């Protein structure tokens, strides 16, 4: 008997998918039967990720893109629709960190973090929204952070980007609800990836990328009439 895949054939776009959380989310979506378009800036790493995902049986389109540039986003969305079909799920995962005293940071650090963590979500969401509105369906999932709710020393720029992302997510959700589109935020604590500093912490007690992918799966499989707007995710044990 053929395995039932409720999301078979649907198209997802995942940003920042060449490694870490984005890669594992893409693998999970592929296993749910979705066709997945992945992007990252590094073309070589992206193609390596695509090859691994395809070996798992998934239909994967890899498109190198800098998600802070509107021309790259427009090209990414256009190629995805042409090659795979209308985008029904967008996972805004691309993100970078900066950790250090805000008063000592260069303006370039602010620009890099805010452009990647916040502006890219605006650009990608705007690029897919018209098609979702036309079809009266769709889901946008933004990978945020508990840093969008909690202040800590050295986190000023990163926290600003994630606090802004949560505000953007909530407002987009209200804008798009009348069109049958759900916009959700996933807010994990520290995840065991190369992304952020883990000095003195036990990686085995941290959240794993698979934990975030599980939440994305849960959001997509919720009842059609419900709306999970935000998920806060913490490890059982403190690292």
Residue positions annotated with a catalytic role: 158
Instruction: Return d(Cα 84, Cα 86) in angstroms, integer.
Output: 7
Please say whether the dihedral angle defined by the alpha carbons of residues 142, 148, 153 and 158, taken in this order, is positive or negative: positive
CB atoms within 10 A of CB 225: 5
Task: Return the residue matching tokens 């049986």.
Answer: 57
User: CA angle, 73 as apex, 69 and 75 as ends, to 5°?
Assistant: 120
| Token pair recorded at residue 81 | 């629709």
Residue with tokens 């995902």: 53
Taking CB atoms within 8 Å and a gap of at least 24, the contacts of 145-151 are: 145/187, 145/188, 145/189, 146/187, 146/188, 146/189, 146/232, 146/233, 146/234, 148/185, 148/187, 149/187, 149/232
Residue 36, helix vs strand vs coil: strand
Which token pair is 136? 């009266």
């Amino acid at each position: 008997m053929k395995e039932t895949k409720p999301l078979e054939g649907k198209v997802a776009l995942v940003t920042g998918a060449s490694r870490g959380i984005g890669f594992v989310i893409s693998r999970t979506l592929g296993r749910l039967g979705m066709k997945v378009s992945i992007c990252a800036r590094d073309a070589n790493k992206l193609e390596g990720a695509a090859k691994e995902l395809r070996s798992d049986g998934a239909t994967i389109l890899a498109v190198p893109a800098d998600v802070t540039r509107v021309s790259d986003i427009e090209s990414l969305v256009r190629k995805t629709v042409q090659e795979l079909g209308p985008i029904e799920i967008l996972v805004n995962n691309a993100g970078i960190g900066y950790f250090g005293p805000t008063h000592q940071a260069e303006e370039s650090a602010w620009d890099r973090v805010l452009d990647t963590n916040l502006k890219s979500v605006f650009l990608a969401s705007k690029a897919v929204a018209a098609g979702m509105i036309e079809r009266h369906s769709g889901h946008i999932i933004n990978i945020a952070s508990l840093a969008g709710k909690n202040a800590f020393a050295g986190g000023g720029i990163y926290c600003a980007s994630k606090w802004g992302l949560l505000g953007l997510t909530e407002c987009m959700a209200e804008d798009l609800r009348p069109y049958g589109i759900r916009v959700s935020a996933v807010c994990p604590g520290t995840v065991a990836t190369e992304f952020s500093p883990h000095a003195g912490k036990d990686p085995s007690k941290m959240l794993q990328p698979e934990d975030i992918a599980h939440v994305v799966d849960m959001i997509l499989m919720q009842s059609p009439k419900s709306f999970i707007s935000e998920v806060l995710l913490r490890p059982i044990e403190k690292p």
